[in-house]
Amino acid sequence: MNIHSCRFKCSECGKCFHSNNHLTTHRRIHSGEKPFECSVCGKRFSQAGHLRTHSRIHSGEKPYKCNECGKCFRHRSCLKEHKRIHTGKKQFQCLVCGKRFTQAQGLRNHSNLHTGDKPYKCSLCNKSFSQSSNLMRHKRHIHSNRRPYHCPFCGKLFKITDYLMSHIRVHAATKEFSCRHCSENFRWHHQLKSHLLKSHNEGTWFTCHICQMKFSRKDHFKDHIQRHEGVKPYVCDECQKCFCTSGDLRRHQLAHSDFKGFCCGLCGKDFKYKYYVKVHFRRCSAVLGYEALAE
């Protein structure tokens, strides 16, 4: 009845609510106020519930469990959408090709493929995307220097959980990727692919059309091409200097930081850059009589 009588009415847009608390929360849409801040990554929210949901990203909590397969989710809505996999219900159908989807967002993203529309535009580099998830991923990978995910073993920080999970393999003793031609084993799949190409001539090289240089990994090849083209999408937050690759940006950012992540194992001296600790280690080992270690 409060809604019908417009007892709690927004003066900006005229929308009515059934309580003053809901009206107060709604007004933050117009004011842009976000009083709830994440203590881990600093992201702000207009509602406490949204902060609680976001916090599950850092804690790993997934309280919503599927009764069919046991898979867990952070959001109730994600569980609801997941259950359609078991029922086979795909209520959203593309009018062009007839393909069906379990989610309305999936249909909207698919429709952009037919129209060629890329409505999601990056405000930093003007690159456009057909899906909002691709835009969010682009901003995290290219423009953001925030790394909220840390390794529990060494404390190294990462932008996304996929990078963290891949890094954790460094601390594991297992090497799950085996070469079918020899006895070599590897921690990562890209290492196995490089090995097959270089040692057994299995696979395809990525060849630069400008200088004919060859690469076994696509990401290294793309970085190399960007250097030829002068593309520098990675921007330093401190001085706005631009770089071709994320690795170049990370190395540059050490100039603005006092963090020294490389340590000499012989004398304990700390260094900002890996190259300097390698040079120092050779000298240090020679002085202490450990020439074999330096080799």
In a domain, 40, yes or no: no
Please list the pLDDT of the chain residue by residue as tens digits (295 residues): 777 778 888 888 888 888 888 888 888 888 888 888 888 888 888 888 888 888 888 887 888 888 888 888 888 888 887 887 777 777 788 888 888 887 777 788 788 778 778 878 887 776 788 777 778 777 777 676 677 777 777 777 777 777 787 777 777 667 778 888 898 888 778 888 889 888 998 888 889 988 999 888 888 888 888 888 888 877 887 788 888 887 888 778 777 777 676 777 678 788 877 778 788 878 887 776 654 444 4
pLDDT of residue 173: 66
**Structural domain harbouring 277:** 262-294
Q: Coil, helix or strand for 41?
A: coil
Do 209 and 231 share a domain, yes or no? Answer: yes
Q: Name the H helices within the chain.
A: 2-5, 20-31, 48-59, 76-87, 104-115, 132-138, 161-168, 189-200, 218-229, 246-253, 274-288, 291-294
Pairwise CA distance, residues 61 & 59, whole Å: 5
Do 248 and 266 share a domain, yes or no? Answer: no
In a domain, 100, yes or no: yes
Do 211 and 253 share a domain, yes or no? Answer: yes
Do 238 and 279 share a domain, yes or no? Answer: no
In a domain, 249, yes or no: yes
Environment class of 60 (CB within 10 Å of its CB; exposed 0-12, middle 13-18, buried 19+)? exposed
In a domain, 75, yes or no: no
In a domain, 29, yes or no: no
Pairwise CA distance, residues 243 & 226, whole Å: 10
Do 231 and 266 share a domain, yes or no? Answer: no
pLDDT of residue 240: 81
In a domain, 231, yes or no: yes
**Site of tokens 């840390």:** 150
In the listed set 125, 144, 163, which residue is the last one of a domain according to the structure?
144
pLDDT of residue 106: 79
pLDDT of residue 295: 46
In a domain, 242, yes or no: yes
Tokens representing 287? 């002085």
pLDDT of residue 276: 82
In a domain, 61, yes or no: no
CATH number for the domain that contains residue 98: 3.30.160.60
pLDDT of residue 144: 67
pLDDT of residue 145: 65
Look at the chain and report how many structural domains it folds into. Answer: 3
